A and B are shown apart, each in its own frame.
Chain A
Amino acid sequence: GAGVSQSPSNKVTEKGKDVELRCDPISGHTALYWYRQSLGQGLEFLIYFQGNSAPDKSGLPSDRFSAERTGGSVSTLTIQRTQQEDSAVYLCASSPGPRDSPNYGYTFGSGTRLTVV
């Protein structure tokens, strides 16, 4: 697609429920990242996928958080037993690849605003 697509754009869920957030990266981008941004705060790294390598999960805040990337394309971030402190905007980004790429930046989606009530 033309950009990184995330769905849903907004999600309200009850405390204790599980949620799934979806990210469709730019076609051909081999790297995919998830970040979280709380209101008025900077971005917090969660996880990133890099081709067929094992993902870097070092930013996941707890074992309630997990992510998958199927077929090297679409990714799903799952939060189990949601808590109110999980409320934030969850942003996905993808990156094109080789270090000699003329445009090396990440492209971010518009995010999913998650509200846990």
Chain B
Amino acid sequence: LAKTTQPISMDSYEGQEVNITCSHNNIATNDYITWYQQFPSQGPRFIIQGYKTKVTNEVASLFIPADRKSSTLSLPRVSLSDTAVYYCLVGDRGNTGFQKLVFGTGTRLLVSP
């Protein structure tokens, strides 16, 4: 499984756009990129997943360049409630469609008023 590298922590203010970049230089052809959010005392929550180019949902956008060696999670206009740990993961869905996710230490985002 590809190893990921992301900043340990980031600070932002309410209303700003936050971009968290993840490096995955050894990503394989079959690997997908997935981001999770975790609040204290809760399990991680799926945010977004992509393979290439750009993916957008109601929560975030995911930008993946052509070489797929990195990805950027973009959170528009963050609020205090976006303070959490964000995990970037890459993994192969496998022949049966499942992927064994390996979590790194994540990026701790702190949003201040």
Contact = CB atoms under 8 A, between A and B. Distances in A.
A1 interface: no
Nearest to A51: B96
Interface string B78-89: 000000000100
Main secondary structure of the interface of B (DSSP, over half): loop
Interface residues of A, number: 31
Contacts of A100: 97
B104 interface: yes
A43 B46 contact: no
Contact of A45 (B41, B47, B100): B100
A99 B46 contact: no
Interface stretch (A65-73, A75-83, A107-115): A107-115
Nearest to A103: B46
Interface of A: 4, 31, 33, 35, 41-45, 48, 50-51, 53, 56, 91, 93, 95, 97-101, 103-111
B101 A42 contact: no
A46 to B, nearest CB: 11
B72 interface: no
Instruction: Give the one of B32, B47, B101, B102 with max A CB within 10 A.
Output: B101
Nearest to A41: B105
Nearest to A108: B43
Contacts of A108: 42-45
A42 to B, nearest CB: 4
Contact of B43 (A31, A56, A109): A109
Contact of B96 (A35, A45, A50): A50
A25 to B, nearest CB: 12
B47 to A, nearest CB: 8
A58 B44 CA distance: 21
B93 interface: yes
Contact of A42 (B96, B100, B104): B104
